[in-house]
Structure formats: structure tokens, C-alpha cells
Chain A
Amino acid sequence: MSLIDVRSLTLGYENRTVLKDLSFHVDEGDYLCIVGENGSGKSTLMKTLLGLQKPFGGEIIFGDGLNRKEIGYLPQQTIVQKDFPASVREIVLSGCQARCGLRPFYNREEKQLAEKNMERMGIKEFARRCYRDLSGGQQQRVLLARALCATRKILLLDEPVSGLDPMVTAEMYELIEGLNKEGITIIMISHDISAAVCYASKILHISKKPFFGTREEYQNSDIGKLFIMREEGGANA
């Protein structure tokens, strides 16, 4: 059984349908990239997967003992966070909020988990630093460590490299690939087709006629060829 099985999903917001009849599935250990043009419904799909909004039709089935709340989510940064006075440790620890339910305070186990994930992301030395004083790449690591506190199995990343410079972007991709190799399933929304065909095992291309398949299938498909070519053309120009 798949971790997430999406069947003929219809999506939209404010009574406007953006996507119809979308089906795909995510298996354990997958690295799925969701690509597509702006406004094609990538973010809406992500919000629906997380349960932040309801689908218009179709269903999402969580299998293999995965609970929707156990998805580690890396959202795009908001303006509020830019000048937020919070230490790195406080933010990473807040990833454990689902674990403690109505219990008001974090227990030792959760604190250790936070420490472990800070170490894993190489930000332990910043634990007491203020989030707003960190660089963009370091901030993303903090949010990734937080997401790891919320999950054992699967991460959902929303444009994890937007706004980062090329060096840091490459580091970020390596970090994510490493996590995937450790056995964590990755779903990533991205603009970056060249990175998608480089790292992902499967690709979901959202458009009027959605494409879902392995990376190799995508590279050989018409829509894939067109998109990759356009991307490369854009890079050369």
C-alpha cells in the first residue's frame, strides 16, 4: 500500500476550480517533485494534502500507518517570521507540538529529539541565536529541523530553495537528498525543473493534462521534453 494515494482529486479555492481529476501516489522512500507553472495549483495541492483546505472532489488516502498530522511540512517563509524574536531552539522544539497534544510543556524526550534534529541539520551551534539574525540558508535548516521533529517518515517541502543563492541552493538539495537516503520520503514543490530531473525519483507535472511517472518517463515524455528544453533555453539565453 502507498503512503499517500490520491484518487481523481479536484482542487480549487473560493469556488474556483484549478485542477481536475488528479491521481498519483507516493510510496515509501520516494522522492517526488511536483512541478508546474505559476498558478497551476501546486500550492493548493500542497495545502489540500496537509488538510489546510478541503478538496472539491476525489479522495486522499493515507496508508502504511501514516497519519496526516505526521507529515513534516516546510512552508515558505512568511513576512511575520522575518523579524520574529525567537531562538533557533524554540522554533525547532515547536515541531514537537503535535506530539504533546494538550500537554502544556515539552518533555525531555521531545527536547532530545529537537537537539538531535538540530545536530542532524548542522545548526546546533546556533541553538541560542535569534532566528531573524540567521542567513536564508540557515533559516531553512532551522525550519527543516522543525519539520523533522514532526515526522518520522515523510517531508513536504514548499519551494525550499526560493530566495537562496546558488551555493546554498546546492547545499540544500544535498541535505534533502541525504534525508531521502536515510529513508525519509520527500515531496517537494519546485520551480526548478533541472533540479527536479536531477534528484527526484518521480515527477508530477501539474497542468491541464497532468503528468505523473518516474523521472525517466518524464524526460522522454512530450511535456517533459518541452519543459526541460524551455528551461535550458531560458538558462542559455
Chain B
Amino acid sequence: MLDKLIEYLQFPFVQYALIVGILIALCASLLGVSLVLKRFSFIGDGLSHVAFGAMAIASVLNLTNQMIIIMPVTVLSAVLLLRTGRNAKIRGDAAIAMISVGALALGYLLMNIFSTSSNLSGDVCSTLFGSTSMLTLTLTDVIVCSVISLIVIALFLLFYNKIFAVTFDESFATAVGTKSNRYNLLLAVIIAVIIVMAMNLVGSLLISALVIFPGLSAMRLFKSFKSVTIFSAVLSVFCAVIGMIISILAGTPVGATIVATNAAAFLMCTFIGVFVR
């Protein structure tokens, strides 16, 4: 089995997939902790559906570079969702449910009506649950993904203390002059970018798992924000690598395998957490 793995690792497309997978897992986990603690996890879920809708529109328009549509639409929705989250008239969670299901339905509808492909359900299934396109990445894809990931990581490190302050106590942070709204916006935009990037890896239905599982697992075990953040990053990369290796060797779907690995890790962390306390 090890021989088989080493043989696979010789192929550039497998290497590309691993690099992109690791970067996406790392970025997703960094912000997951804040998202979970700020009760924003559902925004991630809503956004992934919006990204699906946008992708449907892009494929109907037959664009070669679908990112031109998907990225701005998702980022814009992130900003809107954040705004409505504070609005008393339409409750935040209701707004998210509305937008996400609406986008999902619209996306499927568009793909159905204007479909150019002979295998519609296959297309839909791969956008929702991740596709083999993970294994057809070009060098350009890898470079774009690396650059975006580095920007996300750099932003996170630079604003780490501010993100902590705004996550822990927004009113205190605002009172002492930190522009909380800007940091909330930053969080929402970054999470939108990560979700769009992660669509290829795990598919739009499973992305929020990549965002929230590592953070939740780390919170079972660790007691400071820094250690929770570091552990969730390490765990996320570990699960992504293990998940991808299993899927390569066993021929299982990539996205679902990674999420299943994360779920298993969460159960283990919960178990250990109960005993340690």
C-alpha cells in the first residue's frame, strides 16, 4: 500500500492536489475559531450556497474563468449577511437561511434550464460534494491558490490581536476605539474568499465542515485562544492530508473523506476532553 502511495505521489497532479488541499485546510481553520465563537458559523454555510448559485450562473454564461462571477458575488453576500445579522427586522439566521436556500434553488434551476452538459446530475453532484477537478488542477491554479492563501494567512497574523479582541468582546473593543465593524467585515470577506477557494476541494455543501470542525475540536482540549488557533490549524492540515491519502488509495470521494476524517477527529477530541477534565 505504501508503494502504491509513493507511486501516486510521483504524479504532479497528486502533488498539486495535496498542496492546494493543505493550504485551503489551513486557511479555513484559522478563521473557524472566530466564526464559531462569534456565532457566525451559519454565515459560512449560507455563503457556500451562494457560491454554488454564482457558479451555476457562471457556467450558464459559459465563462472560461468562472471566478470573475463567483468571487464578487460571494464577497458581496458576505457583506450583506453581516449587515442583516445586526438588523432586528429580519433576524440574522432567518436571512441566512433565506439567502442560502434561495441561491441553491436558483443555481439548480439555472443549471437545469440552460444545461449544455449531457451529465447534469453529475455536474450538480460534483459542485455540491466536491469533484475530481481537484485532480485536474493546473500549475496556474496552484499558484493562484497559494498567493491567496498567503494573503489570508498574513492578514490573520497581522490582525490576530484585533481579531481576538473583537471576537471576545465587541463592545469593549469599540469603546476603546477599535473599529470593530471593519474587522467583522474583514472576517466576512476572508471567509467568502476561502469558501470560493474551497469549493473545488470539498464542494459547496461540505465547506462549512472544513471551517468549523477543527475549531470545535480544538476548543474541546485547549484553554487559550492561541493554543486553540494553533491546534485547529495543525489538526485541519492533518485531517486534510489523511483524508486525501485515504481517498487516493481507496478511491473514495475527496471532499466527503476529508470531512469524515474531521468528524472522527472531533469525536476523538471530545472523548479526550471529557477524560482530561
Distance of B218 from chain A, by nearest CB (Å): 8
Docked Cα-Cα span, A80 to B161, in Å, equals: 18
B157 at interface, CB cutoff 8 A: yes
* Known A104-B157, A104-B158, A130-B223; contact A86-B168, beta-carbon cutoff 8 A: yes
- A69 near B176: Cβ-Cβ < 8 Å: yes
Q: CA A105 – CA B203 in complex, angstroms?
A: 36
A63 within 8 A of B: no
5 shortest A-B CB distances, which residue pairs? Answer: A130-B223, A69-B177, A87-B224, A98-B176, A50-B175
- Category for how many chain B residues contact A: 20 to 34
Q: Is the CB of A105 within 8 A of B161?
A: yes
Q: Does any Cβ of B come within 8 Å of A73's Cβ?
A: yes
Residues of chain B with a CB closer than 8 A to A83's CB: 219
Given contacts A90-B164, A97-B165, whether A85 and B175 have CB atoms under 8 Å apart is no
Query: 23 A-B pairs, CB-CB below 8 angstroms?
Result: A47-B171, A51-B174, A69-B175, A69-B177, A71-B175, A73-B171, A73-B175, A75-B169, A80-B168, A81-B168, A85-B218, A85-B223, A85-B225, A86-B164, A94-B173, A97-B176, A97-B178, A98-B176, A104-B157, A104-B162, A130-B224, A133-B223, A146-B172
- Tell me whether A84 and B37 are in contact (CB under 8 A): yes
Q: Cβ of B91 < 8 Å from any Cβ of A?
A: no
Interface residues of B (CB under 8 A from A): 33, 37-39, 88, 157-162, 164-165, 167-169, 171-178, 218-219, 222-226, 228
The answer for the CA separation of A154 and B89 in the assembled complex, in Å, is 37
Residues of A near B164 (CB, < 8 A) are 86, 90, 94
Cβ of A91 under 8 Å from chain B: yes
CB proximity to B under 8 Å, residues A79-121: 80-81, 83-87, 89-91, 93-95, 97-98, 100, 104-106
| CB <8 Å contact, A52 and B225 | no
- When distances are taken between beta carbons in the complex, the residues of chain B under 8 Å from A104 are 157-162
Note all chain A residues with C-beta closer than 8 A to B173. 94, 97
